[in-house]
Every structure is written in C-alpha cells, then in structure tokens.
Amino acid sequence: MGRDLAVRPLASWNAFTLRLDRDVLLLFALRLLRGQAPQVEDLALEGEGERLRLKSKVRVAGVALGIAVEVEEIRVKGGLLGFHLRAIKGPLGLGVPRVVLDLLSRRLPLPVELDRESGVVLVDLRGRLPLGLEVEVRHVRLHAGTIEIALGPGRLAPPAPPEVEDLETPEAALGV
C-alpha cells in the first residue's frame, strides 16, 4: 500500500460541462479587479456560441476608454491556454495593430505567444496551475447568459515530496 499511494491521483473526473452565470461572473471579476486594476471600470461579455466578445471601460489619465476583445475556439490542454484572437478594438472601435499586441504581451505576468498571421494566442499557465493538475477545456460557449465550459477528463495528483517514506514500514517508538 505505502508507496503506491503517493503515485495515485488524489482526485479524478470524467468529462462534464461547467455552467457559470455570466452576470455573476462579471460582477465577481469586477470586484477582484478593483483591488488589482482599479482603472477597469466596466466589463461586459457578449457573443453566441464559441465566439466571445469582452468589452471593458478602462480609465487612463482620467478618461474612460472603451476596449473590446473578440476571441473564439478557447481551449486548455497540457497547461496551455489557446484561443483564436479575432479582433481587438480600442477607443472609437479602431483596431489595435498587432505590433502593439506584441509589446503588450511581453508585459503580461505569464508567457504569451501570438502568431500574427493566424491570430492564435498561446498562454503558458503551467507556472500558475497547481502541480499535478491535469485539466482540459474542450470548448467555451456563451448561450442565453450562461457560460458553458466543456471540460475533458482530468485529475489531480500532487507530487509526493522526496522524503515520503513507505507508510507500511513501522517506525520505532520514540525514545527506543
């Protein structure tokens, strides 16, 4: 029993769909952002199916600027978040040049790669996910105010520390 316990997963699951209330999620996100990024004043999520459009108002130098990001085909596998970036619109609905996106992606706290030709974005989440977590997002859809996240099978198997001893080996009593 001992050592084989250290290699078995703590938890595992079959594929399932997680449903989130869009409005409650946006309210929760705004509350979190107030402490981290107080310049973000508003969030809205629109779209249908796998194409999502996140709109925000960001206050810069006292002026509220509208920003919209449109993505589709959101996936997570092997700790990498990938999606197709359809468009980023800045103030007045003007497109943001890809060179500006390259500069912004370098300032993010996570490694991000952007393929300018295809619009595919890869974000490396492995440094942020708990060790031993295997999660797969097969697709994300917005339907009637609900965000549906289809998860594939996964598991959580935290790595055992190297000093873990065989649980079957009896230890000598203290003082013996």
Q: Tens-of-pLDDT digits for all 176 residues of the chain?
A: 555 666 688 899 999 999 999 999 999 999 988 888 888 889 999 998 999 999 999 888 889 999 999 999 999 999 999 999 999 998 888 888 877 777 777 777 889 998 888 989 999 999 999 888 999 999 999 999 999 999 999 999 888 776 654 554 555 555 54
Return d(Cα 25, Cα 31) in angstroms, integer: 10
**Residue 175 pLDDT:** 55
Q: Is residue 81 assigned to a domain?
A: yes
Give the predicted TM-score (pTM) of the model: 0.77
Return d(Cα 56, Cα 157) in angstroms, integer: 37
Return d(Cα 93, Cα 123) in angstroms, integer: 25
- Structural domain boundaries enclosing 69: 21-128
Q: Is residue 32 assigned to a domain?
A: yes
Q: Is residue 39 assigned to a domain?
A: yes
Domains in the chain, number: 1
Residues 6+ apart with CB under 8 A from 66: 55, 56, 57, 89, 90, 91, 92, 93
**Residue 20 pLDDT:** 97
